[in-house]
Amino acid sequence: MTQKITSLYTAQMKMAELIESDYNLLLLFPRFNMELGVGDTTVMEQCTRQGVSPTLFVMMCNIYSHTDYKPTIKEVTQLDAEQLLSYLSRSHIYYINSRIRPIKEELKKISGHCTSSHSAVLQRFFAEYEQEVINHFAYEENTVFPYIRTLMACHKRQQGYDIENFQENHSNIDDKLSDLKNILVKHLRGIGMASETTELLFQIFSLEEDLSRHTFIEDVVLIPLVQHLEKNIYDKQ
Amino acid sequence: MTNNKRIVIIEPYSMIAQGLRLMIDEIKGYEVSAIIADGHYIERVAPLRPDIVIINPSIIDIKRRGELDELAQRLPGSTFAALVYQYVDPDVLRYFKTTIEISDSREKITLKLRQLLESSEQVTESTELSDREKEILIAVAKGLTNKNIADQYHISIHTVITHRKNLTRKTGIKSVSGLTVYAILNNLIDIKEVE
């Protein structure tokens, strides 16, 4: 049994030790386009080799593993905003393709054992949820991220938009997922698919937790970083 | 008379009892109305009608476990917490809703006290939907607004909102589409009616 690491991760740690201390961190690898086969290298060496910012990688790992960790403004403003945006974009694609789709498939399988109207309503409910998430991400990709990129490129503020608008429009996408969880745990009876339903619930619980970390990253890393960029430009103008 | 929740501590050692009292006194909404350090506590606790009784189970003689049943019967409105800092027979711990440990911080104790009272309110309440709640659920699933529902059932919008809050609390479902799924799974409504 490996000792659970209770202090924060650093770039000097061995990558393999990091994974051993919290295997959930493996879920971050596809989002960084990182490959395994890390040998005996440190986090720093592995990140540099694979073209990933070690600062960003370590910060994301700390946020995922240590729920009471919140990076300081100083740490946040040291990040490369473009690296953060591309991490968030890849996360969006990852959630839709690698997490939500499999849940949809599994739910379809289970629904096959319900009456046709129960099956239809369950699948329609999930399709609505999926669309809600797609819209939520699309707003970020099409409105928020381009705004941030303009901010970085021209060092100029766009009229009539700032990151506060994003904070206000940052819609809540947790309700339906939590509803689905309760429907499966409390209300769906007599379909005799215990192992499939359990598997599905594990996927949902894990996605729920992951999405809450994602929202946390947007709230405590992305927004403060952009506010810092905005302030710098405002001060110059 | 304040609205503070009243707590009685039954603990043989004064140092611990007084320390716990100091911690609880700093928590808003709670007060320690008595500390009892020895036997015959049943006769002394009952008239105080406390909301919470915190007992060190080691004060209970192993041959007189029935005392806890007696205490619970005489105080139907109280909830019981064990104050634990030495080995306690798990059979005895079953009588208590929670345990307060000597290492607990004030924040942790606050949380535990709050949960004690919440859970005691919840257990007495059924999660079964009332007939009126079922009617409201069906109306919500059909896509009616709160205003429409209020008009249809001749109740105030405020009452509709209360019913909807209760629906969410009882089913654990927040979204309208989720409530629709619930209504269909429980055959309260046909899928054709919501299309």
pLDDT digits (tens, 9 = 90+) for B63-99: 666 777 788 888 888 888 999 888 887 777 877 888 9
CA distance A105 to A51: 34
- Any idea where the domains of chain A sit in the sequence? 15-68, 75-236
Instruction: Collect all residues of chain A within an 8 Å Cβ-Cβ radius of residue B180.
Output: 121, 125
Q: Is the pLDDT of residue A91 over 90?
A: yes
- Taking the Cβ of residue A187 and every Cβ of chain B, the question of whether any pair is shorter than 8 Å is answered with yes
CA distance B195 to B143: 10
> What pLDDT is attached to residue A172?
74
Q: What are phi and psi for residue A35, nearest 5 degrees?
A: -105, 155
Does the complex come out with an ipTM higher than 0.90? no
**Considering CB atoms only, which of B171, B172, B184 is closest to A118?**
B184
**B177, A182 Cβ separation under 8 angstroms:** no
> What pLDDT is attached to residue B124?
45
- Taking the Cβ of residue A125 and every Cβ of chain B, the question of whether any pair is shorter than 8 Å is answered with yes
pLDDT digits (tens, 9 = 90+) for B105-164: 888 898 888 888 876 554 445 678 899 999 999 999 999 999 999 999 999 999 999 999
Angle at Cα B37 formed by Cα B34 and Cα B38, nearest 5°?
Answer: 125
Under the banding of pLDDT at 50, 70 and 90, the label for residue A2 is very low
Mean pLDDT of A138-155: 89
Instruction: Specify the amino acid at residue A222.
Output: L
B-interface mutation test, from A128, A185, A187, most B Cβ less than 10 A away: A187
Provide CATH 3.40.50.2300 ranges for chain B.
5-123
**Considering CB atoms only, which of B174, B175, B185 is closest to A118?**
B185
CA distance A50 to B122: 53
Strand B5-10 vs strand B79-84: parallel, antiparallel, or unpaired?
Answer: unpaired
Mean pLDDT of A48-67: 94
As beta bridge partners, residue B80 has: B53
* Token reading at B164: 């909807």
Q: Is the pLDDT of residue A61 over 60?
A: yes
Q: Is the pLDDT of residue A18 over 70?
A: yes
Provide CATH 1.10.10.10 ranges for chain B.
131-194
**Cα separations in angstroms, A218 against A59, B3, B57:** 13, 42, 48
**Considering CB atoms only, which of A121, A128, A186 is closest to B184?**
A121
**Considering CB atoms only, which of A176, A178, A183 is closest to B182?**
A183
CA distance A132 to B119: 34
Q: For A13-17, A43-47, A115-119, A122-126, which range has the lowest pLDDT when averaged over its residues?
A: A115-119
Mean pLDDT of A166-183: 84
**Considering CB atoms only, which of A128, A178, A187 is closest to B182?**
A187
Fold of B131-194: Arc Repressor Mutant, subunit A (1.10.10)
Instruction: Collect all residues of chain A within an 8 Å Cβ-Cβ radius of residue B172.
Output: 178-179, 182, 186
Q: What are phi and psi for residue B30, nearest 5 degrees?
A: -130, 150
Mean pLDDT of A7-13: 92
Q: Is the pLDDT of residue A175 over 70?
A: yes
Q: Which residue has the higher pLDDT, A16 or B194?
A: A16
Report the largest interatomic distance among the alpha carbons of chain A, rounded to a whole angstrom. Answer: 66
Under the banding of pLDDT at 50, 70 and 90, the label for residue B103 is confident
Instruction: Collect all residues of chain B within an 8 Å Cβ-Cβ radius of residue A180.
Output: 178
Q: For A91-100, A206-215, B36-45, which range has the lowest pLDDT when averaged over its residues?
A: B36-45
> What pLDDT is attached to residue A7?
82
Rounded (10°) angle between helices B176-185 and B131-141: 120
Instruction: Collect all residues of chain A within an 8 Å Cβ-Cβ radius of residue B177.
Output: 124-125, 128, 176, 179
- Taking the Cβ of residue A13 and every Cβ of chain B, the question of whether any pair is shorter than 8 Å is answered with no
**Tokens 């929670």, residue?**
B98
User: Three-class SS string for B4-39?
Assistant: CEEEEEECCCHHHHHHHHHHHHCCCCEEEEEEECCC
CA distance B13 to B64: 20
pLDDT digits (tens, 9 = 90+) for A186-213: 888 878 888 999 999 999 999 999 999 9
Rounded (10°) angle between helices A81-94 and A194-217: 160
Kindly report the CATH class assigned to B5-123. alpha beta
Cα dihedral A125, A131, A134, A136 in deg (nearest 10): -90
pLDDT digits (tens, 9 = 90+) for B167-180: 999 999 999 999 99
Q: Is the pLDDT of residue A66 over 60?
A: yes
Strands in B98-101's sheet, in edge-to-edge order, are B30-36, B5-10, B52-55, B79-84, B98-101
**Cα separations in angstroms, A124 against A87, A117, A128:** 30, 10, 6
> What pLDDT is attached to residue B63?
63
> What pLDDT is attached to residue B46?
81
- Taking the Cβ of residue A182 and every Cβ of chain B, the question of whether any pair is shorter than 8 Å is answered with yes
Instruction: Specify the amino acid at residue B191.
Output: I
For chain A, give the DSSP string: -PPPP-SPP-TTSBHHHHHHH-GGGGGGTGGGT--S--TT-BHHHHHHHTT--HHHHHHHHHHHH-TT----HHHHHTS-HHHHHHHHHHHHHHIIIIIIHHHHHHHHHHHTTS-HHHHHHHHHHHHHHHHHHHHHHHHIIIIIHHHHHHHHHH--PPTT--HHHHHHH-----HHHHHHHHIIIII--S---HHHHHHHHHHHHHHHHHHHHHHHHIIIIIHHHHHHHHHHHHHH-
Averaged confidence pLDDT in chain A: 90
Q: Is the pLDDT of residue A159 over 70?
A: no
> What pLDDT is attached to residue A173?
83
Q: What are phi and psi for residue B5, nearest 5 degrees?
A: -75, 130
